[in-house]
Amino acid sequence: MQKFSFNKRLVVTMIILIIGFLLIAFSISVRNNRKAPIFVQQIGNEAGGIVDRVVGVPINGLGHASDSVKGLYNTYTENKKLKKEVDTIATQKVENQTLKNENKHLKQQLKLNETLSSYSKINAVVLSRTPSSWQDQVVINKGAVAGVKKNDPVVSRKGLVGRVTEVNQTNSKIELLSTSNDSANRFAVRLKGKDGTVINGLITGYSTSKNQLIMGQITSKEKISKGAQITTSGMGGITPQGLLVGKVVRAANDDEGLPAKVYIKPAADFNDLDVVTVARRVD
C-alpha cells in the first residue's frame, strides 16, 4: 500500500512537470511567432493591468512626491541655467520649423510621400517592471486599442530603449535593449565613418558590467571615430530611420582589420523610464 501511494505521487509530480514544460514551450513559441497572445492569456493580462494600476498609482505617486522634494532643492540653480538656454532654443525651434517645411516641399517635388524616417508617436506610461534579473521587461499602459503593434520600437526622451514583445488590448510588454535573450529581435543601426561613409551593422548584444551596447555584423572597413552618433538605419521594415541609439565608446578590430565590434554608450537610461513613446513607422 505504501509503495502504491508513493508511485501515485511520483506519477502526479511527473505529469505536473510535463504540463509545466509544455506551457513554457508553448508560450515561448507564441512570443516568438504570433502577433498576439491567445484569448485566455489576454484576459489575464487585462485583469493584471487593471489591478496593477490600482496598486501602482499610489506607489508611483509616493515616488514622485519624494522626487519633487529633491527637485525643490535644485530648482533655483537650475532655473538660472535654463534661462540662458531658453533663448537659444527659440532660435533653434524656428530653424527646425523652416527646415521641416523645406523638407516637406522637397519631398513633394520629388513625389516622395513617405520616407524611412517618418513615424507616428504613441505616448505611454510605464506601469511596472518585471521583478526579475533575466527579463529586462517593462509593462506600458497602451495596447492594441491605441494602435501599438508587436515589434514596434520604443524610445524614451533620450533615445531608443527597446521593442514591443507582446500586445494586449490595453497594455503591452517591452523588452529593453539591455536584455540578454538569445532570440530577441535585433535593431539594424548605422553610423558615419571618419570620412563620411555610412557604416551599417546590428545591435548584437549588451555588456551588463559596462552598460554598453555591442554593435556587430559591420559592413565596412572604414575607421570609426569615438563619439560618433549611432542611429537606427530603417532597414528591416519595422523600425523607422534616425532614432538615436547612442555614441561610440570604442571599436575593437578583429584579425583581418575589420572593426568587429563597436561598443556603444546608450543614449537612454534603461532603468529610469517613466514615459516612453512607441514609434510606429508610417508606410
Partner 1 sequence: MRISKMRYFFPIGTFLFLFLDGSLSHLFAPSFFTSSTSVESRLILLWLVLGICYGKVDHLLAWSAVAGLFFDLFYTGVLGIFTLLLPFMVYLTRNIVTFFNRSFIVVLLIYLIDITILTTLFYWVNALIGFTSASAVTFIARTLGPTLAYNLAGYVILYWPLKIFFEKFS
> Contact positions toward partner 1, by CB under 8 A?
16-17, 19-24, 26-28, 31, 37, 41, 44-45, 47-49, 51-52, 54-56, 59-60, 62-63, 126-139, 165-166, 173, 179-183, 208-211, 269-273
Q: Quick one: 42 or 239, whose CB is closer to partner 1?
A: 42
**Comparison of 177 and 224: residue with beta carbon closer to partner 1:** 177
Determine the number of helices (DSSP H) and then strands (DSSP E) in the chain. Answer: 2, 12
Helix (H, G, I), strand (E, B) or coil at 105: helix
Contacting residues for 200 by C-beta, under 8 A, at least 6 apart: 188, 189, 190, 218, 219, 220, 233, 235
Least distance to partner 1, CB of residue 80, Å: 26
CB of 203 to partner 1, least distance (A): 16
Distance between CA 160 and CA 231 in Å, rounded? 9
Least separation, in Å, of the C-beta of 222 and partner 1? 30
Which one, 44 or 237, has the nearer CB to partner 1?
Answer: 44
Give whichever of 151 and 220 is closer to partner 1, judged by the CB atom.
151
In the complex, minimum distance from the CB of residue 40 to partner 1, in angstroms, rounded to a whole number: 9
Cell 555584423 maps to which residue?
A: 217
Between residues 34 and 93, which has the closer beta carbon with respect to partner 1?
A: 34
Residues 6+ apart with CB under 8 A from 53: 127, 141
DSSP code for 141? S
Q: How many CB atoms lie within 10 A of CB 280?
A: 18
Least distance to partner 1, CB of residue 39, Å: 12
Do the Cβ atoms of 267 and 158 come closer than 8 Å? yes
